[in-house]
């Protein structure tokens, strides 16, 4: 089931996200996020953009949200998308299902450009974006340093035609 995020989801979201914070370079965050900080992030995002969770048997197994691309008003039709899947739920299609839902929602809301920002290398995330018609549009070399190494970042975009 996909539904809008609720405050009660913060502990589950922290559990999903903090695994990536502490064990991977897919996020440039370097310290675990506590529940009050996650609640603040949820509140800030959902003031203007959607945040969804995918749950099965009452357990949140993935989440995805859109956030402003930039703050200046001319960017209002562009948005960055984010998706995270519980580390024990990979390969079950949850990321694709949730991302498809979020993309459709953002298109309904009139978004013209959708962006994915990916720490590289990350073949699963690159494939996910390309599956939904995103194309790589930028590459920044060694912009982050985490876990004793430099990390590149790639940008993928999906631009709606004739809108």
Q: List pLDDT tens digits, range 106-126.
A: 999 999 999 999 999 999 999
* pTM across the whole model: 0.94
For the chain, the C-alpha Rg in angstroms (whole number) is 15
* Domains located in the chain, CATH noted: 2-159 (3.40.630.30)
Q: Going residue by residue through the chain (163 aa), what tens digit of pLDDT does each one get?
A: 999 999 999 999 999 999 999 999 999 999 999 999 999 999 999 999 999 999 999 999 999 999 999 989 999 999 999 999 999 998 899 999 999 999 999 999 999 999 999 999 999 999 999 999 999 999 999 999 999 999 999 999 999 876 5
Measured CA angle at 74 (ends 72, 76), to 5 deg: 85
């Amino acid at each position: 089931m996909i539904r809008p995020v609720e405050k009660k989801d913060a502990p589950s979201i922290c559990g999903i996200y903090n695994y990536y914070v502490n064990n991977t370079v897919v996020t440039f965050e370097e310290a675990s996020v506590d529940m009050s900080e996650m609640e603040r992030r949820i509140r800030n995002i959902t003031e203007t953009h959607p945040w969804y969770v995918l749950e099965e048997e009452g357990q949140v197994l993935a989440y995805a949200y859109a956030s402003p691309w930039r703050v200046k008003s001319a960017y209002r039709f562009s948005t960055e998308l984010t998706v995270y899947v519980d580390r024990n739920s990979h390969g079950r299609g949850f990321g694709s299902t949730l991302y498809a839902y979020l993309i459709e929602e953002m298109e309904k809301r009139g978004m013209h450009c959708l962006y994915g920002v990916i720490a590289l290398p990350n073949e699963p995330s690159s494939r996910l974006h390309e599956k939904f018609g995103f194309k790589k549009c930028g590459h920044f070399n060694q912009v982050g340093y985490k876990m004793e190494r430099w990390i590149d970042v790639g940008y993928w975009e999906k631009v709606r035609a004739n809108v």
